[in-house]
A and B are shown apart, each in its own frame.
Chain A
Amino acid sequence: MTDVLRIDGLSAGYGPLRVIHDLDLVIKPGERLGIVGLNGHGKTTLIYAIAGLTGWQRGSILLNGTQIGRTRSQGPGRYTHQIVRKGLALMPQGDEIFTGLTVEEHLDSGAFTREAWRDRKIRKERVLDLFEPLRKLMRTPVGRLSGGERRMVSIGRGLMTDAKLYLVDEPSLGLAPKIGQSVMEALFALDLKDSAMFIAEQNVALLEGRVDRVIGMHAGKLKGEASAGLGFN
């Protein structure tokens, strides 16, 4: 079985600043992977590089066997939608939401593949099961929601397709601890089947014991497996 993600010698950065240094990473199907690290050590950039949103990048990124990374330095985001359509669900930091759309339309906008659009009702139900509080907000414009609800919407939007790889960037950032916890619960409750999930997080305690692997990130490089065996007890 092919790896969900295989990164080989990835470097990325913005203009004269290099953030990621020759990074290698393999994510197996069905794996939930946590990346921990302090601010400014390249967690978000790594996610952006996978999605093609960095200023420049180099190295190979194989998503399910198809090449989505290459040496390029066009404007960021030029190919993002194509990469996303190859089976990536991106739940970015800071809730990239469409303020004027309602929650329902938001979830619909996440269902961009043909199959997902066809049975979007079932999928919406599935997301609502994960995020109960959204059920009664379906007709509200997202601009009026609170931070936690927005995060739920933006994560729920990512869950609408059968992505191969879910990239979650700092799901608990800026949320009250309790809400952050519940958002994390929802992420852990998701049945991954043969896809994989990649969570970047500053707060190790939230990941402890719930993910298959935790990798530390320091200065643009992955620092071994922080606790491959430790996490499971």
Chain B
Amino acid sequence: MSKPILTQINWHNPLSPWGAKTTDIPTVAATDCSDVWDANTEYKAKTYKVGRLKHYVIWPNHGQRMWTRLRWWPTRRNLLHVKGLYNRKTLVAEKKILDRRPIYWAICLLLIAMGPMLFPASMYNTMLSAGTIFGIFAAINVCWTLILGAASIFSLASYAVVGVTAFVTTYASIQMGLPWFTLPILGGFLGLAMGGLIAIPALRLDGFYYALLTLGLNELCRVFFTTSKQFGSASGGLYGADSFLPASWSPEAQSLLSYYSALALLIAALFLFRFINGKRLGRILRMAPEKREAFAAACGVDYRKARVTIFIITSAALGFIGGFYATLYGGTAFSIFSFDTVLLGLAMVTIGGIGKAEGAILGTLVVTFLDKVLISWGPMRMFLIGIIMLGVVLFLNTGYFGIKKQFNAWRDKKRGEWRSMRTEKGGEALPEEATEEDDKDVLYFLRFDKMQRDYLKGLICPEIIEEHRRQPLGQHSAALERLLMYFRRAPMDDKYALHRNSATGKFKIIAFSGERGVSPRVVEDREYDSIGDGYHAIFMRRVHDLLES
């Protein structure tokens, strides 16, 4: 509150129109009571200009009527969630796109598809092979995201599944001469079997026990394959599977074909993600998030079965990817099992945010770019990946795609704190009390009373007290009059009064009980000779009480 400005209030003689001699007499200076009112009722929160909060894509309306379509014929989908409504300012009919994600997906996938046209000529081959690897790894990571996010099984064995199926299908292709198109299918079945096997401990173990176990499983596969003779322990990998790349094509055409087939694989993985996460299984598991499984189970959700189902389906998909990998490259190297691969995979999944398909793809893009395109940087690039991973983990709750949510949550928390810090002292009613009070007038009265007291406290000064001492009754200055009015209006309980034992006795201060039939209590033992002294003593007590309140 700014420093109160005292203004002179004159006492105006009401009899002046009838010829009274004294007209206006200056009295004690006092502040204007509207200052307190203004200070208490002004809007104190700092306001900012608000920009556009959310941008929607808006099309003009189509035809005469408002757009009211629930689905696109002949599908059962409501892609883009288009809604017709009138513009609030211009009242023109419009169509609003509420769900823009399909547009972004289309743009991004289109960009990836146009990739070979955009790559710089000097890096063309590197970028193309990196793009192929990106497609495959993104597909693996999207599947892995299903396991980590939707099924919330913290499995680190996804690359092991891919690697095992790739090795076994390559081996089968070499030994039995299987044609290329059987390999992914064979891999799918193998992955299904492996998923079933790995899922058994997942039924019993908790999240992190399982994570550590699968980490060991990965190492187990690595040791087994690198040491066994059938799988080419000497050559650093097993090669020679039937490839679908026609040998007669030029190398450029071959790498272009592998790029687009990897892209097709990625799109297939995305569809798998959509059909698992967005449908019944995904919905079930969104009812049973971590640490609230018991509640979901009580609602009749068999979350265990749903999790294992997702795990097994996804393992089959990973097996399919493994078989595809084998036909694409004609075999596999042992590096698929290495701890670094798991680490890089985890980096890819973490950077974008665990549990989101777009997160998996963004993370894969970043990591593959660093790892495969910037080869000239040497060990620095691994270092960089580690730094990015660490930074994301330290600062972001759920990766890049969680930034917005995290920021909003933080802002809301801070806002709440600031708002509650600003609330005035003695709002008299706590928010929780305010909700309990039926009569809201009481709350407003308390608020007003507080303002009034604030103002009256400002009026009290030695001059007023002196004025009251001189003349407890009779005409007073405006300030003193306001004060006395307030005192007189006080409720009966604990209201002070003067008590005199006999007609000639002395005066004592008593306080009413406020209840009929209950006698007043004596406030103090002091006695006053004259009624004027008594009045003034009561006045002083009230002033004291007012200042204390």
Contact = CB atoms under 8 A, between A and B. Distances in A.
A40 interface: yes
25 contacts: A13-B417, A13-B420, A13-B421, A15-B413, A15-B416, A15-B417, A15-B420, A16-B416, A16-B419, A18-B421, A18-B430, A18-B431, A22-B425, A22-B426, A40-B432, A55-B417, A56-B417, A56-B421, A58-B421, A73-B414, A73-B417, A219-B428, A219-B429, A219-B433, A220-B430
Nearest to B430: A219
Given A56-B417, A221-B426, 14 more contacts: A11-B421, A13-B420, A15-B413, A15-B416, A15-B417, A15-B420, A16-B416, A17-B420, A17-B431, A18-B421, A19-B430, A21-B425, A40-B432, A224-B548
Interface string A116-134: 0000000000000000000
A86 to B, nearest CB: 25
| Residue of B413, B415, B429 with most partner-chain A CB within 10 A | B413
Interface in B392-444: 413-417, 419-421, 423, 425-433
Interface of A: 11, 13, 15-19, 21-22, 40, 55-56, 58, 73, 219-221, 224
Nearest to B419: A16
Given A40-B432, A219-B433, A224-B548, A21 B421 contact: no
Nearest to A56: B417
Interface string B428-467: 1111110000000000000000000000000000000000
B201 to A, nearest CB: 28
A78 B430 CA distance: 27
B420 A18 contact: yes
A69 to B, nearest CB: 14
A122 B452 CA distance: 59
Nearest to A221: B426
A160 to B, nearest CB: 35
Nearest to A23: B425
Contacts of B421: 11, 13, 18, 56, 58
B430 A16 contact: no
Contacts of B427: 21
Contacts of A55: 417
B543 to A, nearest CB: 16
Nearest to B423: A18
Contacts of B416: 15-16
A134 B420 CA distance: 44
A224 B547 CA distance: 13
Interface of B: 413-417, 419-421, 423, 425-433, 548
A229 to B, nearest CB: 12
B542 to A, nearest CB: 16
A178 to B, nearest CB: 34
A73 B415 CA distance: 12
Contacts of A221: 426
A65 B433 CA distance: 36
Contacts of A11: 421
Contacts of B426: 21-22, 221
A55 B416 CA distance: 11
Closest 8 CB pairs of A and B: A16-B416, A18-B420, A22-B425, A56-B417, A219-B430, A15-B416, A13-B420, A73-B417
Nearest to A58: B421
A58 B433 CA distance: 23
B428 to A, nearest CB: 7
Contacts of A224: 548
Nearest to A22: B425
Contacts of B414: 73
A162 B263 CA distance: 70
Nearest to A219: B430
A160 B121 CA distance: 76
A22 to B, nearest CB: 4
A13 B422 CA distance: 12
Contacts of A21: 423, 425-427
A21 B432 CA distance: 14
A13 B418 CA distance: 11
Nearest to B414: A73
A54 to B, nearest CB: 11
A16 B416 CA distance: 4
A5 B413 CA distance: 30
A22 B413 CA distance: 21
| Residue of A13, A16, A17, A219 with most partner-chain B CB within 10 A | A16
A58 B420 CA distance: 11
A177 B432 CA distance: 30
Contacts of B413: 15
A219 B416 CA distance: 19
A20 B139 CA distance: 54
Contacts of B425: 21-22
A40 B420 CA distance: 17
Nearest to A13: B420
B521 to A, nearest CB: 13
B45 to A, nearest CB: 13
A16 B433 contact: no
Nearest to A19: B430
Contacts of B548: 224
A21 B548 CA distance: 16
Nearest to B431: A17
A58 B417 CA distance: 11
A221 B428 CA distance: 9
A17 B432 CA distance: 9
A55 B417 CA distance: 9
Nearest to B421: A58
A45 to B, nearest CB: 11
Contacts of A13: 417, 420-421
B6 to A, nearest CB: 27
A219 B429 CA distance: 7
A224 B423 CA distance: 22
A195 to B, nearest CB: 30
Contacts of B428: 219
Contacts of B429: 219
B432 A16 contact: no
B446 to A, nearest CB: 11
A22 B419 CA distance: 15
B308 to A, nearest CB: 34
A219 B425 CA distance: 11
A184 B413 CA distance: 40
A198 B432 CA distance: 26
Nearest to A41: B430
B437 to A, nearest CB: 12
A16 B430 CA distance: 12
A17 B429 CA distance: 13
Nearest to B428: A219
Contacts of B433: 219
A112 to B, nearest CB: 30
Contacts of B431: 17-18
Nearest to A18: B420
A220 B426 CA distance: 9
